[in-house]
Amino acid sequence: MSENKRKQLNPIRYVLIFSMATVGILIHGIFAHRNTELGYFDWLLAYAYVPFFITLIFYIMHRIMLKLRPDTPERRRQEAYVLDMSKAVKHTLDFTVDDFKMLQRSQDFQNAMFFGYQVLYEGVPASAAYEKMLAPFEADTKEYQAVEVIIATIRNKRP
């Protein structure tokens, strides 16, 4: 996906937000006009600006978030690496959600993922990095099994 295409705003998202706000105002209007002297349509006309305002707030917040968290090729490559490795572990091993949460909390496993990224994209010598990746784990742990799958995946992807 190109850089420009990724920065474009999805208009369907804003149509959905506007529609939800409009439906919310319509439903709220049914109950609120009973407590006021305004008729239903008068009440709706008085609050017709609210869906536009809500959509505008979401649009502005989206633009601010794009500025605060720039989307760089490096970040996309890191996200793709993590996604590829998690898919490989998921398809190879029979891990549960709790196992993946345990891997996510494990600092040693996160370091192993980082070393794997360096091998794959930054040209770090593979043999030394593979030893560093496996060193903190005992052979019978789930982390060790996951790191072995990651190493095999990296070996398949490396030119």
User: CB–CB of 103/109 below 8 Å?
Assistant: yes
**Residue pLDDT, tens place only, 1-27:** 444 455 566 788 889 999 999 999 888
Spatial distance between the Cα atoms of 141 and 119, rounded to a whole number of angstroms: 23
**Residue pLDDT, tens place only, 34-76:** 777 777 777 778 888 999 999 999 999 988 888 887 777 888 8
**Residue pLDDT, tens place only, 98-126:** 988 998 999 999 888 888 888 888 888 87
Q: Is 0.75 surpassed by the pTM of this model? A: no
The residue ranges of every structural domain in the chain are: 3-70, 74-157
Assign 3-state DSSP to the chain and report helix, strand, coil percentages, each to 5.
Answer: 80, 0, 20
Compute φ and ψ for 124, nearest 5 degrees. Answer: -70, 140
What is the number of residues in the chain? Answer: 159
CB atoms within 10 A of CB 41: 10
